[in-house]
Amino acid sequence: MDSKNHLQNQIDILLAELPWYVEEYYTSRMAAGYSKKTLHLYLFEFRRFFRWIIDSSVQEQLISENRLNNEEYSAITKDLNIKTLEFIKKTDFEAYITYLREEPLKAGKNKDESLRSQNHLLTIWSSISALFSYLTKETEDANGECYFYRNVTDKVIIRTQRETLARRAANIQPKLFIGEDMQGLLDYIENEYASTLSKNNRSATSFALNKERDLAIVALFLASGIRLNELVRLNLNDIHFTTNRIDVIRKGSIRDSVPVARFGMDYLKQYLEIRKEKYAPEKTQNAVFLAIRAGVNRVSERTVQTIVNKYTKAYKMRVSPHSLRHSHASNLYEKTKDLTRVSNQLGHSSTQISDLYVHINDAAGNGLDN
């Protein structure tokens, strides 16, 4: 099953456990152009919240206050009555946030359990707030009225975790590939990485198959600064070698034409020259980056993350695809000192978002020292 079908399967599983009004929300947001990845995360958080409601005493309290009757009580998330959301109290929401804040997260083998960060809590809360906003402002019953009008989430406050751009830049800067380090990473993958693998093992076989693809992926991040999902969704007809540009779909389903540094296009061309021979895709397969797993399919975001993690860890330190995006932007700003150009390159809606790279430039020692 390819990543696209796998994601839809996960969405279908979640919808099967959620009430009719959540299905309406999902349909509405799909029509509005929301990504399935975003909606999957939202549905997951809705289910978690509804399970907490059922496990807590929220419904019992509403019954005792004659807000619900016994027939409207539900023991499963699929049947959670919409009146429960209408009358749930602010204190119940605060109790849920406290529960999330104090619930330990399993960090994996040989690591201590950790707690959710403030930013993680804000992400969870924004998804639940989005559902309540929809139910109280955008829905219509038989009389043209919203299903209910009391949006209790407007009364709940969660502090935003703030940090200066200077501090954020200082945290990001050591994870970047600046100047010669950028080509150094690509040279390492091409010429040295194979020597770290045992001959004739599975990893060596995989590297031999995917070397050109992986180089093109890493190079394209460094040469263009595109996002992970933008790279994964690239199709063959999105690549324009004559102009050194690629077409991508930005946030908000906005199509954009992105300039790519020549070295990135060179690695991409080398990969495309062996794509058909090594992966034998069907003629209808238009995805640029392919993976052989239960057939030949578009590479998944998780696979690309693993690719970047693996090579950067072996070369210097383990970083994410987003760090390679930061690396491109930092290199571009260092060369041009043009925030508008950096902002356009990254697909930012404002140069304020790109101000970070001024601070990264200073954190690298190019501000006060000069």
Residues 164-175: b if buried by 16+ CB within 10 A, e if exposed: eeeeebeebbeb
How far separated are the first and last CA of the chain, in Å rounded?
54
Catalytic, out of 78, 245, 322, 341: 322
Catalytic, out of 211, 227, 233, 359: 227
Catalytic, out of 325, 326, 328, 359: 325
DSSP bridge partners of 239: 246
Q: Give the angle 41-43-49 at the CA atoms, nearest 5°.
A: 105
Residue 291 has phi, psi (to 5 degrees) of -140, 145
| Residue corresponding to tokens 């959301």 | 85
Is residue 262 part of the annotated active site? The answer reads no
Is residue 149 part of the annotated active site? The answer reads no
Is residue 137 part of the annotated active site? The answer reads no
The answer to whether the CB of 268 falls within 8 A of the CB of 220 is yes
DSSP bridge partners of 257: 247
Question: CA–CA separation, 52 vs 274, rounded Å?
Answer: 52
Is residue 227 part of the annotated active site? The answer reads yes
Catalytic, out of 251, 269, 276, 293: 251
What number of CA atoms fall less than 13 Å from residue 211's CA on the CB side? Answer: 14
Catalytic, out of 233, 326, 357, 359: 357
The answer to whether the CB of 43 falls within 8 A of the CB of 26 is yes
Q: Is 19 helix (H, G, I), strand (E, B) or coil?
A: coil
Give the distance between the most distant pair of CA atoms in the chain. 73
Residues recognised as catalytic: 227, 251, 322, 325, 348, 357
